[in-house]
Amino acid sequence: MKMDSSDAQHLSELRIVLMGYRRAGKSSAGNTILGREEFELKKSAQCVKRHGEVADRHITVIEAPGWWRYFSVKESPELLKQEILLSVSLCPPGPHAVLLIIRVKDRFKETERKILQEHLDLLSERVWSHTIVLFTHGDSLLDTSIEQHIESEGPDLQWLLDKCGNRFHVLNNHNRSDATQIKELLEKIEETVAQNNSCHFEIDRKILQEVKERRRAEEERAEERMKRMQKRRENIRSQMSESIYFIVQIHTEYIK
């Protein structure tokens, strides 16, 4: 990706959200960015937030849970959609960039493009101007350049890159000793901020409030279900105690 960095400013703080399908390498990318094992590789249903000092910058990284590659937004769980929306609110006032994680070795055709677009569009059309495609497993390219790979994938991957203003970066998670790849990534994020008139991405407050209210209502319903189950268990225990007492009394009378 060639960008004009003349207006880019070195930022002492960067806020990043990692997003993408499951098993794309989000956790590994977060660990590579921060330079240590901060994100567990096991899948989480909730967002994970971590901090670190990297290349003279304070970095905040949010990992949003991933969607299934072949599940549309309609098929994705409501909790997942809520977490995607909430992810960009966990680093206030908002992320400088959303890194859209894609494994180099995974095919990217029309089905993948549509599903990815649906999930990212949950955050509104504005998110695309703050998005950088981050290709993981860069070592699998071998002697192929990323430009050659993009061309070989066809129009759907090119559409995605056009949608992101041709912003992309390749990451080799197996070569964390290469500090250059992270330094260049952070510089590309700063260039993205400059292209957005030094503004970060911020989700519409009305959308965020609606999500929080739905989450609160679901938690209240879950709490009520838990209370009902607890009361049911207590009733069963009480009935069992009474039955045991009755059996003991009968047995005592019989012995007499």
Domain spans in the chain, listed from the N-terminal domain onward: 13-203, 204-256
CB 201 within 8 A of CB 127: yes
Tell the residue number behind the tokens 């937004």, with chain if given.
73
- In this prediction, residue 2 carries a pLDDT of 47
pTM beyond 0.85: no
Looking at the structure, give the CATH architecture of the domain made up of residues 13-203: 3-Layer(aba) Sandwich (3.40)
Instruction: Determine the Cα angle at 185 with ends 181 and 190, to 5°.
Output: 150
Residue 89: phi, psi to the nearest 5?
A: -100, -5
- In this prediction, residue 212 carries a pLDDT of 84
Q: Which residues of 145-162 are buried (b: 16+ CB within 10 A; e: fewer)?
A: eeeebbeebeebbeebee
For the record, the structure tokens of 203 come out as 């989700």
Is 192 in a helix, a strand, or coil? helix
Tell the residue number behind the tokens 């260039």, with chain if given.
191
- In this prediction, residue 245 carries a pLDDT of 66
Q: Provide the residue-wise pLDDT of the chain in tens; the chain has 256 residues.
A: 445 555 678 889 999 999 999 999 999 999 999 999 999 887 788 999 999 999 999 999 999 999 999 999 999 999 999 999 999 999 999 999 999 999 998 989 999 999 999 999 999 999 999 999 999 999 888 889 999 999 999 999 999 999 999 999 999 877 777 889 999 999 999 999 999 999 999 988 888 888 888 878 877 777 777 778 888 887 787 777 777 767 767 766 666 5
Separation of alpha carbons 91 and 15, rounded Å? 6
